[in-house]
Structure 1
Amino acid sequence: MADKRNRRRFTPEFKAQAVKRVLDGRGISEVATELGLSTGQLSTWRTEHLAGGSAEALAQRKAEEADMQRLRRENKRLEEENQILRKAAAFFAKGIATQFAFVSAERANHAVSLLCRVVGVSVSGFYAWLQAIPTHQHRAEAEAVLRGHIGRIFAAGRQVYGSPRVHAELRREGRRHSRRHIERLMREMDLSARQSQRPVPRTTNSRHDHPIAPNRLARNFTADRADQVWLADISYIASDEGWLYLAAIKDMATREIVGWSMADHLRTELCTDALVMALQRHSPAPGLIHHSDRGVQYAAEPYRAVLERHGIVQSMSRRGNCLDNAPMESVFAALKVEHVHHCRFRTREAAKAAVFDDIEVFYNRQRLHSALGYRTPAEARANLEGITMLAA
């Protein structure tokens, strides 16, 4: 059976946002890895995007990008060295007089060779010192290392991970510590997940004459295979230019956002574009259940026509009952609490780029979901598709 990933297709909106990340100065390999693409695929999209220019302009652009990559590497190296020096200054200000102690405390965050070079000691001397220190100092050093790992994971998790997810990530890395120990250290380090209390306005207009589908889920939000149950909903993001509306579709088994679309309006095509993206990506078999609220966008004939054409069974929540689509509400709550409500977007395009990053890079491929046993949606889909292929 052919690998399903080889048949993935992408909407123009997805391609545009992916190319924008490259043109904003990110490396092609880095962006491709973040989005689960091949470098050749992303390079082709970039070339197509730049095809409006002359051959000379394209060559110049490539040369400029090569120079930018070299500068980024150099700047990254210098920034890391400066960061080490700043930490060292604060460390020695506390009266701890040995460079070896500093290297030991920071080796979870930087390479030992780099630390030794910056503070002016030998690597062999450091390891000789490490072997000679007493056992109680080893414990203190081990805790300092653990604090470094906690801080790294908290930062990589965009400061939205509480102790359960930090503990889960440590276990994924093979580091065995009790959750209570991690809770204590995070409390001492003053690390807590972001919170927000902003109200959510209504985006649903259920006062219409279009057909209403029955509630086929009845709050049974379970699925044992990918593309068996999809949930859909609409939310909004504020910008200085006005509202940016987001339509998204979530797979119940993998918790993945399989389709999304963003626009400055709430017309039916906003939701249709999200549905088309999901269909292009995963080509579900007939019989999939699509659940949403009773909004006019989902009840309108163009949207229902797409569902019928692909053999998808429509389901709708009861009037005014948001709990009938609770898992989808939680997606938008996480998006806003963890990121959107902590940013001010000057333009809708800036908001689009941020939401794209949140969904495609973080939510789908990096964020650990407790409902998935602290795995990512991408890992859950790969596992379920592997089981399906073995069964076939």
Structure 2
Amino acid sequence: MIAALDQTDPVALAQALIGCPSITPATGAVFDCLEAMLLPLGFTVERFLDGDPANGGPVENLLAMRRRGDGPHFAFAGHLDVVPPGEGWASDAFAPEVRGELLYGRGAVDMKGSIGAFVAAVARSEAVSGTISLLITGDEEGDAVHGTRALMGHMADRGVRPDLCLVGEPTSVNRLGDMIKIGRRGSVNMWITVPGVQGHVAYPHLAKNPISPLVRIMAAIEAITLDEGTDWFQPSNIELTDVHVGNPATNVIPGKATARLSIRFNDLHRGADLAARVRAIVEAEGGTLEAKISGEAFLTPPGAFSALISAAIAAETGLTPELSTTGGTSDARFLCALCPVVEFGLVNATMHKLDEAVALADLERLTRIYERILSSVATAS
């Protein structure tokens, strides 16, 4: 089936990828499909598994490279795993279907559509010199432990380091090209536990209620103002996301109380510093804290790379994209350690939703934008 595809047609390529179910963590058929697209274009493809079922795996990762003479190394990064489709789709989420001017299917926007567009752009750019690589994981929508970070380790072992990286996440908001991401906020989640001593409410002197210190902890956390934002980032925010006692009885003082919070922070902070600040509050009340840093904040300052991408977008859409750091995290938080990273892709209105869909015209426009970016990177060297 892949051999019969037109490699320059982003719709056909997106359909082929969507047709391979790949709920995170992804392995197997969807990577077979992408590899079959890339081999005829002259790419060398390396695939490997990382992790096991006991720790969130196995996850498949793919590194594909094509060298054509001298020139910079341009990398395109993305993921083939998708979130579960859920119930209530108008058609099979993994049977891509064109209805009217839209292509429906899980991953159409996030982000098999942009991967198909990039492959089509490469197929149309045979004359472009330099090195082109694809850094594709099956673990972006999950824990992101065995995906891009493992792929970066694999690259380091081989001495592979791109000069520039474009992540094809769906960054557009209302129209294709209205926004690109030049950074992302960091993310840290924390779990608070306050121990107590269970007992009868009529005999409080024989028990120790953990709820009161937990309330004081939460009040202290709520009183924190981390910052007022920066030139490129909105203010950091702390959100309490869960409080739990689990006490079904009305006459029992509980033996433990817990809470959970999440902090999304800008580049004025580091995750470990924020965890230490909250831990001091928790431990002062006799509690304990567990923290998990999902990623640090990063910024690719506006410059030649973002200007090149903006020019390609403007040439095809007439729009001047907003340079933004809003939204959640992406694997760009890891890739920024390698080189300048910018994110740009499709309109994100239906990602993770029922009946996820992409406009056919947007797939073609995105392909042409990616073509311009490839050409501009090669000629700018």
Query: Greater Rg, structure 1 or structure 2?
Result: 1
Same fold flag (TM > 0.5)? no
**Which one scores higher on RCO, CA 8 angstroms, separation ≥ 6?**
2
Q: What band does the TM-score fall into relative to the shorter chain?
A: under 0.3
TM-score by length of 2: 0.23
Higher strand share: 2
TM-score by length of 1: 0.22
